[in-house]
Structure 1
């Protein structure tokens, strides 16, 4: 379950951010997770809730936005969602697909009081 490790990393970022802004309580965290990251949102939420107990982030709402896997064909320029990890252009048949979205994994914002 790699979500627990990711949840710890998110919590570290959240606590450091809150500390650097002199916040006393974290109320919300927004995370951007690409489809290719293989995150199970429920597992990440559970891990974050468990790890944040006893910290200023306890009870904070973790909002996870999963971005779709998008690829652009280097040969014809067509850009579309990549389904079932088939990296083949549906327009020209090329396999020269560049990923333009879907690999992200970042803390987008931290809401504090």
Structure 2
């Protein structure tokens, strides 16, 4: 369950950043996660609920997730197309030579904090 490691890293980064900004509380953290990362949302939410309680700064923080669906470009014909995690062939020419343009993200987009 790599979701625990993801949440641990996110909470650690958010806490360090918030403390450096003089925050008294983290209200929310927004993540952008691509489908190709194969993050199980239920496991992510479970890990968030469990690990956020370890620090009073994050104890009530809300997790917001922006999902990013895969998009690729065909090296052979240049076509850009949306797809799922498993079907990466170009729908125009059938080539398997593609470059992933989006769908692999795992980013902290923003966080909302309270300051004195």
Q: CA 1:84/1:21 → structure 2, altered by over 3 Å: closer, same or farther?
A: closer
CA contact under 8 A between 2:70 and 2:85: conserved in structure 1? no
Q: Does 1:112 align with 2:103?
A: no
4+ aligned runs moved over 4 Å, structure 1: none
Q: Give the paired residue count.
A: 113
Which residue pairs with 1:59 in the alignment?
60
User: RMSD value over aligned CA atoms?
Assistant: 1.1
What secondary structure, in the 3-state scheme, does the structure 2 residue paired with 1:88 have? Answer: coil
Name the structure 2 match of 1:86. Answer: 87
- Give me the whole-angstrom Cα distance separating, in 2, the residues matched to 1:59 and 1:103: 28
1:61-101 deviations in whole A, cap 9, x for unaligned?
10011100111111211111123512210101111110000
Unaligned runs of 5+ in 2: none
Alignment partner, residue 12 of structure 1: 12
Contact kept? 1:17, 1:110, Cα under 8 Å: no
> In the aligned structure 1, how far is the partner of 2:13 from the partner of 2:84?
32
Structure 1 portions without partners, runs of 5+: none
Question: What is the rounded CA distance, in whole Å, between the counterparts of 1:84 and 1:43 in structure 2?
Answer: 19
Task: State how far apart, in whole Å, the 2-side matches of 1:39 and 1:91 are.
Answer: 29
Aligned pairs for 1:10-89 (under 5 A) are 10-55=10-55, 56-89=57-90
- TM-score, length basis structure 1: 0.94
